[in-house]
Amino acid sequence: MRRSGVLLHPTALPGTPACGSLGQAAHAWVDALADHGIGAWQLLPLAPTDGTGSPYSSPSGFALNPWLLDAEQLVADGLLEVADLATLPTAGDATRFDPALAERRAEALADALLRRAPQWPELLRRDLEQWRDRQSFWLPDHCRFMVLRRLHGQQPWWCWPTPFARRERAALAGLERDHAAALEREVLLQWQLQRQWQSLLQRARSRGVEVIGDLPFYVAHDSADVWSRRRLFSVRRDGRLTLQSGVPPDYFSATGQLWGTPVYRWPLHRLSRFHWWMRRLERQLEFVDLLRLDHFRALEAAWCVPGGDSTAETGTWRRSPGSALLRRLQATHGGDHLPLIAEDLGVITPAVEALRDSYRLPGMKILQFAFDGNPDNPYLPENFRGDDWVVYTGTHDNATCIGWWNSLSAEERGRVEAHLAGPVQAPGWQLLELALASRAELAVVPLQDLLCLGDEARFNSPGTTAGNWSWRLSGGIATITGPLQGLGEMARRYGRR
């Protein structure tokens, strides 16, 4: 079915201090999409973020971001009292994402949950214990990791005292004994985050809105996953990297991009029949209807750089068992169709395309990349082969369409106007119409482009660490009814929902 969708991360939702949440505004957002006939909501990874606010560099490949927990919903569900809300920090600018304030609020909510837990009815506590048992693959180590991180001043795990860094049994037993309350706080946070997210997901499904998630290919070096399952990653016993991830030098960077995350020890993943990967994918697919695999090309071959290098220049391509992994997922998921999108941007080889196509995974097309003057440019809609694509005006890593248009030379603008057969007056909407008219099965637009915002609303600038992830919708959901209605009407003209 031909669909249209909007890209908006939950942190950018309005109405709460510091950070958007999974509460009333999120439910109103889902209803607004459904009311205007928009069939898909795309978001970024729901995982906890790194210190810059990036959800693509997370201390956990399984956990949800505590900053998204909604306080009012906890009161409505009977887990907290109204009086508990008065203990939450609120000072801040509700129009921008504030990681420090979001962290303080999450800590205060965790304290309140722990304080109120003894008063909860037995049925609720039984639900908690059943949930805890189902999460045994990842939850205990995640909680230990987060508590140890806090105890050691947020230092990376390889800088902790050796007994903890090496997970010695006596040290972990002591942690369980001496910091039981802190560990339970982490459990309660993750339990309620999952309950709130599943409520929101159920709301979206009941209204016919497909939820599209996002999964980073690599996990952070300083993560519960690497600390607890070091053998699966290119990490020495002392925490140093033997190999690290990145991409090679290209037109945009003479030294390539060095990401600093460990690469996978694929032989050990194969021996376990990809058990860690399968559990990771299965958990992510519990949260969404369709999942974008970031850096898909590394499933065919990954650029592996020596662990001590400071640039990506001397790396080598190493084959990955992507086909075996996808085949395993296909066998467990059932049916031929995998609910995945391949993020296949950049320089993609025929082997990567063959892997994508052999599992019939939709790839991505970005219209901002289409107008270089090459008539064979693969991002031009007339060059789409087949309809198995997701087409975007831009993504979270792009400038907004107005920012993009303002950055173009006169020659580049002329090429865009020639293709559109007229002057460009609303870049986001004109690229959106091009996307909706294309043969791609799904057309997605960032909310910033619907609102005709400039680069003050840009979500991320790759290669930078300051000022990213902070944009939020400043008004209530009702204030964007017009743009959503316009998208819905335009989508229907092109046979989309």
Please identify which of the residues 184, 222, 343, 344 carries the catalytic annotation: 343
* Residue tagged 């909860």 (tokens): 120
Please identify which of the residues 313, 397, 441, 455 carries the catalytic annotation: 397
Do 63 and 107 meet the contact criterion of CB atoms below 8 Å apart? no
Question: What is the total residue count of the chain?
Answer: 497
Active site residue 397: yes
Residues ≥6 apart with Cβ < 8 Å to 377: 369, 370, 371, 383
Active site residue 357: no
Please report, as a single letter, which amino acid is at residue 1.
Answer: M
Residues ≥6 apart with Cβ < 8 Å to 465: 52
Active site residue 127: no
Please identify which of the residues 84, 294, 388, 449 carries the catalytic annotation: 294
CA distance 4 to 423: 25
CA distance 261 to 256: 15
Q: Cα–chain-centroid distance for residue 486?
A: 27
* Strand-pair partners of 303: 246, 317
CA distance 155 to 149: 6
Sign, Cα dihedral of 31, 33, 37, 41? negative
Phi/psi zone of residue 243: left (φ > 0), alpha (ψ -120 to 50 degrees), beta? beta
Do 236 and 242 meet the contact criterion of CB atoms below 8 Å apart? yes
Do 239 and 207 meet the contact criterion of CB atoms below 8 Å apart? no
Burial track 286-315 (b if 16+ CB lie within 10 A, e otherwise): ebbbbbbbbbbbbbbbbbbbebebeebeeb
Do 96 and 131 meet the contact criterion of CB atoms below 8 Å apart? no
Nearest to 451 by CA among 416, 423, 415, 475: 475
Query: Which positions are catalytic?
Result: 294, 343, 397
